[in-house]
Structure 1
Amino acid sequence: MSSNSVPSPQSSSTATARPAVPSQRRSAGLALLGSELTVLFRRRRTWAMLVAIALIPILLAVAVRLSSQTLSPGEGPPFLDRVTQNGLFVAFTAMIVAIPLFLPLTIGVVAGDTIAGEAGLGTLRYLLVAPAGRVRLLLVKYAGVAVFCLAATLTLAVAGTLIGAALFPVGPVTLLSGDVIGVPESLLRSALIALYVTVSLLGFAAIGMFISTLTDVPVGAMAATVVVSVVVQILDVLPQLAWLHPWLFSHYWLGFADLLRQPMDLGSFGDNALLQLGYIAVFGALAYGRFSTKDILS
Structure 2
Amino acid sequence: MSRADVLQAGAARRPNPLWTLGLLRSELVTTVRRWRTLALLGVLAAVPVLVGIAVRIETRGGGTVGGGNGEGPAFITQITNNGLFLVFTALAATLPFFLPMAVGVVAGDALAGEAGAGTLRYLLVAPAGRTRLLLTKYATVLAFCLLATLVVTVSALLVGALLFPMGELTTISGTRIGFAEGLGRALLIALVVAGSLVGVAALGLFVSTLTNSGIAAMATTVGLLITVQIVDQIPQLHALQPYLFPHYWLSFADLMRDPVYWDDLVKNLGLQALYAAVFGSAAWARFTAKDISA
Q: Is structure 2 residue 45 aligned with structure 1 residue 54?
A: yes
Q: CA deviation at 1:43?
A: 1.6
Q: Is structure 2 residue 29 aligned with structure 1 residue 29?
A: no
Q: Which runs of 5+ in 1 are unaligned?
A: 1-20
* Distance in 2 (alpha carbons) for counterparts of 1:269 and 1:189: 14
Q: Write out aligned runs for 1:158-173 (5 A).
A: 158-173=154-169
Q: Is structure 2 residue 234 aligned with structure 1 residue 243?
A: no
Q: Is structure 2 residue 122 aligned with structure 1 residue 131?
A: no
Q: Write out aligned runs for 1:139-178 (5 A).
A: 139-178=135-174
Q: Is structure 2 residue 172 aligned with structure 1 residue 181?
A: no
* Distance in 2 (alpha carbons) for counterparts of 1:35 and 1:176: 43
Structure 1 equivalent of residue 64 of structure 2:
70
* Distance in 1 (alpha carbons) for counterparts of 2:262 and 2:78: 24
Counterpart amino acid of residue 228 in structure 1 = L
What fraction of aligned residue pairs are identical, expressed as a percent?
53
Q: Write out aligned runs for 1:1-298 (5 A).
A: 25-67=16-58, 68=61, 69-71=63-65, 72=68, 74-298=70-294
Contact 1:57/1:156 (8 A) holds in 2: yes
User: What is the CA deviation profile of residues 252-280 of structure 1, one whole-angstrom value per residue up to 9, with x for unaligned ones?
Assistant: 11000110011222222221121111111
Q: CA deviation at 1:77?
A: 1.9
User: What is the CA deviation profile of residues 207-232 of structure 1, one whole-angstrom value per residue up to 9, with x for unaligned ones?
Assistant: 00000111111011101101111111
Counterpart amino acid of residue 40 in structure 1 = T
Deviating more after overlay: 186-195 vs 73-82: 73-82
* Distance in 2 (alpha carbons) for counterparts of 1:184 and 1:213: 44
Tell me the SS of whatever aligns to 1:254. Answer: helix
Tell me the SS of whatever aligns to 1:114. Answer: helix
The structure whose Rg is larger is 1
Deviating more after overlay: 145-154 vs 33-42: 33-42
Contact 1:173/1:186 (8 A) holds in 2: yes
Contact 1:49/1:106 (8 A) holds in 2: yes
Tell me the SS of whatever aligns to 2:110. Answer: coil
Q: CA deviation at 1:73?
A: 5.4
* Distance in 2 (alpha carbons) for counterparts of 1:79 and 1:194: 15
Q: CA deviation at 1:171?
A: 1.5
* Distance in 1 (alpha carbons) for counterparts of 2:255 and 2:41: 25
Contact 1:207/1:225 (8 A) holds in 2: yes
Counterpart amino acid of residue 63 in structure 1 = A
Contact 1:90/1:161 (8 A) holds in 2: yes
Q: CA deviation at 1:75?
A: 2.8
User: What is the CA deviation profile of residues 194-250 of structure 1, one whole-angstrom value per residue up to 9, with x for unaligned ones?
Assistant: 111111110111000000111111011101101111111111111211111111000
**Stretches (4+) displaced over 3 A:** none
Normalization by structure 1: what TM-score?
0.90
Counterpart amino acid of residue 62 in structure 1 = I
* Distance in 1 (alpha carbons) for counterparts of 2:50 and 2:87: 12
Q: CA deviation at 1:287?
A: 0.7
* Distance in 2 (alpha carbons) for counterparts of 1:50 and 1:255: 24
User: What is the CA deviation profile of residues 13-59 of structure 1, one whole-angstrom value per residue up to 9, with x for unaligned ones?
Assistant: xxxxxxxx99x522222111111111111222212211110100001
Normalization by structure 2: what TM-score?
0.91
Superposed CA RMSD = 1.4
Deviating more after overlay: 272-281 vs 109-118: 272-281
Contact 1:134/1:292 (8 A) holds in 2: yes
* Distance in 1 (alpha carbons) for counterparts of 2:202 and 2:124: 20
Aligned residues: 277
